[in-house]
Amino acid sequence: MEKMRQLFGKARRAGVFGMLLTIFVAFSFRSAVADWNDVPTGSMKPTILIGDRIFVNKLAYDLKIPFTQTRVATWSAPVRGDIVTCWSPADGARLVKRVVGVPGDVLAMRNSQLTVNGVAVAYTEADLETITAAMGDDATGKIFYMEQLPDHPHVVTITPGKRAIRDFEALTVPADQFFMMGDNRDNSADSRYFGYVGRDAIVGRVQGTVWSLDFEDNYKPRWSRFFADMI
């Protein structure tokens, strides 16, 4: 017992407990309040690029006990058009996707055009110059449209010749479930493949980018994407 007291005394004098408390608080903050995640895939191009570091607001919809999925308070729910981080129902991987269907929505797709509750979503011309500046050579051979989801107009990418699910019959999103898709429509594993994402699997809402590095150009900073908002 005396040796234990001596060890605790040495640890206290060395500041070990303070350091551990700081680490615990920091990880608790990232678990329950806010986080900044890297983006390893291109399923959200051109909205989110590989090398972006995104800021995730984990208090956007609810408050969870740190390190768990247990909600202790809820004040809102994801809306159509939100970009969220979530856990894949297929393999548990962390994903970044856009909510295109909320509980009760009737969705369908024909030739890559979404229909929501019987109304075809409008697609308009995208700013190719801005997209090419962001994506570089990766924009070559692709087609870009502005998908006019209410309050969340955004660019979607179509890759001609790519095998992908561009059509599905009308479906109704169940209660407490959400239909997710990537903006890079032909290069995204999403609800077309693995089904709905449950409310408990949604971690938080993506607010924007913290910073961005071009991995294919010697990690060159993409200054225009630093602290940029996202819709």
Q: What is the mean pLDDT of residues 8-14?
A: 46
Confidence of residue 140 (pLDDT cuts 50, 70, 90): very high
Three-state SS sequence of the chain: CHHHHHHHHHHHHCCHHHHHHHHHHHHHHHHHCEEEEECCCCCCCCCCCCCEEEEEECCCCEEECCCCCCEEEECCCCCCCCEEEEECCCCCCEEEEEEEECCCCEEEEECCEEEECCEECCEEECCHHHHHHHHHHHHCCCEEEEEEECCEEEEEEECCCCCCCCCEEEEECCCCEEEEECCEHHHCCCHHHHCCEEHHHEEEEEEEEEEEEECCCCCEECHHHCCEECC
The pLDDT tens digits of the residues spanning 102-136 come to 999 999 999 999 999 999 999 999 999 999 988 98
- Condensed to tens digits (0 to 9), the pLDDT of residues 142-170 reads 999 999 998 899 999 999 999 999 999 99
Q: What is the pLDDT averaged over residues 8-25?
A: 43
Domain 35-229 CATH (choose: 2.10.109.10, 1.20.1260.10, 3.60.20.10, 3.40.640.10): 2.10.109.10
Give residue 219's pLDDT: 87
Q: Which residue numbers are catalytic? A: 43, 97
How high is the mean pLDDT of the chain?
85
User: What's the pTM?
Assistant: 0.85
pLDDT 10s digits, 175-212: 999 999 999 999 999 999 999 999 999 999 999 999 99
Tell whether the model's pLDDT for residue 21 goes beyond 60: no
Domain ranges of the chain: 1-32, 35-229
pLDDT (0 to 100) of residue 17: 41
pLDDT of residue 148: 95
pLDDT at 1: 54
pLDDT tens for each residue of 47-96: 999 999 999 988 889 877 766 677 777 878 999 999 999 999 999 999 99
Q: What is the mean pLDDT of residues 21-36?
A: 44
